[in-house]
A = this chain, B = another copy of it.
Amino acid sequence: MMKERFSKLLLGEDMSGSGKGVCTAVAISNAITNLYATVFGQNLRLEPLPPEKMSMWRKEMDCLLSVCDYIVEFSPSFSQNLQDRIVEVMTSTPRSDIYMNLPALEKLDAMLLDILDSFRDTEFWYAEQGSLSSDRTKSGSFRKVVSRNEEKWWLPVACVPTRGISEKSRKLLQHKRDCANQIHKAAMAINNGILADMKVPDTYMEALPKCGRASVGDAIYRYMITTERFSANYLLDCLNISSEHEALEIADRVEASMYTWRRKACINHSKSWDKIKNQMADGDKNDKNYILASRAESMLFCLKQRYPGLSQTTLDASKIQDNKDVGQAILESYSRVLEGLAFNIVAWIEDVLYVDSTTRQQDK
């Protein structure tokens, strides 16, 4: 198994062996994404992961993550030699981003699997949508099926006893939801951090519109440029975003404008954006492009907070596709799939809690 996995990574998904495949970073990122889909893709309910999938996840992730053990940085350090003299030696330590984030991700991974594993002998259960009627018959009158996710027909439907689940179970469910929520936030924070660290591809910068206003649209631009006290949340409220799809489209446009304005600010001050951000005197911060870029940044931040399940923006996707750094590839993809799993667990628990509260209300 391991030989096959590693060999395919080495071939960069190009089975012809001619080396025209993707680079290692992209190959590993895809491998983690695909492994997640294989292991968790059909698990759409609160129940322990089947043992064979659990062992597959552990073994293959172990394999993929092991590459991180060999990513090191060298730094000078001092040590005492036999003659008690202090000598300077180069020591290798794990790369700091890996050292900081990988153990955290492994912990989050284990916690999520523990949560799933705890759903044994639960008071709720699932009925497949297709088999609803037969299930209803079998289970008799004391069980009610509340169908919530009519728009998500592929999800199994949670069922609870007529009087709802016990107080104790409900408390426990709420506790697990809060846990999963925290895990989701932690994974998302790591993922955002890694994505922010990743290099913006040259192709993205080259394809940017010349004018940030055109990209973001007149309405948004006018609010961004005229207001004295800018509130990203107020602006988002005004936009009446109706779907995640629309939110993603706006995020893409705001992000593109942000980079256009940043570039203009950098050209005007012949400094890099990081320098501008850190070194600028307050007076300089009245620069129009600087203000617009900062406002776009805060708008993007609020958008991502409002839509925690938002798909990757065009920039994020192109960063991942263009990335050559193996360490970042592993951290980004690992945190991304954990973020997805945590998000799903929260949603599944909320499904059960919703069905439970509806059932209890009907019972009154």
Contacts and interface: CB of A to CB of B under 8 A. Distances in A.
Interface in A24-68: 24-25, 28, 63, 66-68
Contacts of A267: none
B326 A17 contact: yes
A73 B326 contact: no
A9 B10 contact: yes
A315 interface: no
A3 interface: yes
A23 B6 CA distance: 15
A95 interface: yes
Given A2-B2, A18-B324, A63-B3, A24 B12 contact: yes
Contact of A19 (B7, B16, B25, B66): B25
Nearest to A72: B15
Q: For the side of the interface on A, what is the size category?
A: 35 or more
Interface string A216-260: 000000000000000000000000000000000000000000000
A10 B10 contact: yes
B10 A71 contact: no
A67 B7 contact: yes
A11 B324 contact: no
Nearest to A74: B15
Contact of A10 (B4, B6, B18): B6
B325 A17 contact: yes
Nearest to A9: B10
Nearest to A66: B3
A20 B199 CA distance: 14
A67 B12 CA distance: 11
A350 to B, nearest CB: 39
Given A25-B19, A325-B18, A11 B66 contact: no
A69 interface: yes
A319 to B, nearest CB: 13
B2 A24 contact: no
A164 interface: no
A304 interface: no
A24 B69 CA distance: 19
Contacts of A67: 7, 10-11, 17
Residue with the highest number of chain B CB atoms closer than 10 Å, among A8, A17, A25: A17
A153 interface: no
A16 B319 CA distance: 19
A307 interface: no
A209 to B, nearest CB: 30
A71 B3 contact: no
Residue with the highest number of chain B CB atoms closer than 10 Å, among A7, A67, A323: A7
Query: Which 10 residue pairs of A and B lie closest in terms of their CB atoms, listed nearest first?
Result: A19-B324, A17-B71, A6-B6, A17-B327, A7-B67, A7-B70, A3-B66, A17-B326, A10-B24, A18-B325
23 contacts: A4-B69, A6-B6, A7-B67, A10-B10, A10-B28, A11-B24, A11-B67, A11-B71, A12-B24, A15-B70, A15-B72, A16-B71, A16-B73, A16-B95, A17-B98, A17-B325, A18-B325, A18-B326, A18-B327, A19-B25, A19-B324, A20-B324, A24-B24
